Chains A and B, each alone.
Chain A
């Protein structure tokens, strides 16, 4: 999993955003609003090799079952791929 680190996560007024900078700003015109779980997953990405590893981290922090957490992670990964944040 390769991450495009030209997105800066910002917490503004209690909301989370991914702001593209550099080349990413040319590809993605706008800013991405994410929820608290999205922000948590984004922070996990540098240390997690795949969706299973991210799911492990979620289960350490949130009370949920693996299937639900994994489904959320995969759905979020799809959104990140679409925005060019996960590039492969």
Chain B
């Protein structure tokens, strides 16, 4: 089956453009819980204390009150995430009420806990899309990375969703435990017509105060090139490599565009998007700690949105990046800058190192392709 590339309907782009001008929170993420049945080494939300902290989670009624305020403020798109949203016993109650309010709803899940009850719910109120975190193509990889040998369950559940016509996108976080499985992950998605997005760069968890178990910078760069090799045609890859080597910017991830020249926030975070964590605190991005004094329950959605916009607008990336020879291919964003360094002054060494390895990584992939073609010609 052909490789599937992600695309966003034009109306979404248009609405974000309109909403940005009118300062509306068009797209809001609700982090329904920090609890998860997995314990992934790179997770930025979940830790072993979360179950103890469950009483601090918002109730279904509180989430629905927040959603009502969001709707009145102009929110159209909701992303429900966690933790793992399905660990909430009242997930179906929350989801159904949100769907009936007229939101366009997407969902992030590890898909290991999908039940008949969830399926019946999605039959009645189909989600816009379900984003599945897929961590490998073997139970052993899941056991090593997530602590649960869940691959076969997740794979079967993906097929169940697809059989019911529910759009599924696969997101894969690449870590020392599963990076070697990248080709298999991409083949798994190709065979099922799934949109795939892999990421070798893992944010340090500023929310949990840990760096996690990350790949060496050179490996992150190599994985980016490997992913592009799979997703792009040989001609497209050659063109991209040429642009990288010659210092010409190219269009990449529309959700997380690369930063430039002492920029502010370049993505939609804090412009048309907000994130509300499991305690009800709002921030411009889920990767950064949400300020406790920006709580939607106590301050109200509108006031929190104004504060979120103000904080996002104040962000300025390091001036030193302005003269960097790798700025055209750097993945630095406001959130990664803050998570890596705790501030906005000095460039983050890990991301600088990744960027410095990217030209060689793409060159290496192009060389591999040439050798393979030469070998094929000889046969």
Contacts and interface: CB of A to CB of B under 8 A. Distances in A.
A13 B125 contact: no
Nearest to A8: B102
B302 interface: no
Contact of A10 (B22, B76, B126): B76
B104 interface: yes
Contacts of B165: 26
Contact of B125 (A15, A17, A21, A31): A21
Interface string A20-39: 01110110001101000000
B100 A13 contact: no
A36 to B, nearest CB: 15
A25 B102 contact: no
A1 interface: no
Contacts of B117: none
Contacts of A67: none
B19 A13 contact: yes
Interface string B1-27: 000000001010001001101101010
Q: How large is the interface on B (under 10, 10 to 19, 20 to 34, 35 or more residues)?
A: 20 to 34
Nearest to B76: A12
A33 B21 CA distance: 19
Nearest to B20: A13
Given A13-B22, A14-B18, A21 B74 contact: no
A31 B11 contact: yes
A44 interface: no
A26 B102 CA distance: 15
A19 interface: yes
Contact of A22 (B24, B71, B103, B125): B125
Contacts of B71: 10
A15 B18 contact: yes
A18 to B, nearest CB: 9
A14 B165 CA distance: 32
A10 B102 contact: yes
Given A12-B15, A19-B102, A21-B125, 19 more contacts: A8-B100, A10-B76, A12-B18, A12-B19, A12-B26, A13-B18, A13-B19, A13-B24, A13-B74, A14-B18, A14-B22, A15-B15, A19-B104, A21-B99, A21-B100, A22-B124, A22-B125, A25-B125, A30-B9
Interface of B: 9, 11, 15, 18-19, 21-22, 24, 26, 71, 74, 76, 99-104, 123-126, 165
21 contacts: A8-B102, A10-B71, A10-B76, A10-B102, A12-B15, A12-B74, A13-B15, A13-B18, A14-B22, A17-B76, A19-B76, A19-B103, A19-B104, A21-B99, A21-B100, A21-B102, A22-B99, A22-B124, A23-B124, A25-B125, A31-B11
